[in-house]
Amino acid sequence: MGLYQMINLFFLYSFLGYLLECAVLSFENRRPVMDRGFGHGPFCVIYGVGALGAYILLSPMVGRPVELYTASMAMATTMELFTANIMIRLFGAFWWDYSRKPFNYRGIICLESSLAWGFLGLFFFYFLDARVRQAVVRIPGHVGSVLAVGLTVFYLADFIVCVRARLGGAEDEEPVIGRLKVF
């Protein structure tokens, strides 16, 4: 897989993660939830990072589902903990709140989500990844490269705008912070 295909794979997984977040939160809150992710676009990049990271680190476990489940659970929970701590240091908040769920740690991680991450890892390896990779490979070369560059430029520009707004650097833009757990 080439660089442009990897970028498109990253953004497709980030988009699928956004859809998953919206669906789960809409179900849990019994009302539509559309504001997920850090920026304005429909991407939760932690899912893109998680999918590529899981493929690289956990692929050797594919033939051993119990180990794959456990490793997926541990990897995703660690990513949540790490990401929340970075967000807390930068913004004083993070974008989810498990504090009402049993067996949680500071609202950052919880047993229910950790168990779900393990199942998502199995779903990723045994069903989703081959299909998503196949879809990305089918994008014609020139279209794929333009798409990858366009998505990257859009996300980087949006990321910079959002960081500035959330850190108070943009005077004319009111920070849009969604649902946060504030410290």
Give the three-state DSSP class for 89: helix
Angle between helices 45-58 and 65-91 in degrees, nearest 10: 140
pLDDT at 162: 85
How far is the C-alpha of 120 from the C-alpha of 114, rounded, in Å?
Answer: 10
CA-wise closest residue to 36 among 13, 20, 12: 20
Q: Average the pLDDT over 4-12 and give the result.
A: 97
pLDDT at 175: 37
pLDDT at 16: 96
Going by the DSSP 8-state scheme, the letter that residue 75 receives in this structure is H
Give the three-state DSSP class for 167: coil
Which residues, in sequence order, are CB contacts of 85 under 8 Å at separation 6+? 108
**Report field, pTM of the whole predicted structure over 0.75:** yes
pLDDT digit string (tens) for 139-176?
999 999 999 999 999 999 998 988 888 787 544 444 33
CA-wise closest residue to 85 among 71, 95, 75, 98: 95
pLDDT at 152: 97
pLDDT at 28: 86
If you average pLDDT over every residue of the chain, what do you get? 89
Domain ranges of the chain: 3-181
Which residues, in sequence order, are CB contacts of 54 under 8 Å at separation 6+? 72, 75, 121, 124, 125
Does the pLDDT of residue 64 top 50, yes or no?
A: yes
Which of 42-46, 71-75, 149-153 comes out lowest in average pLDDT? 42-46
Stronger pLDDT, 33 or 170, i.e. the higher one: 33
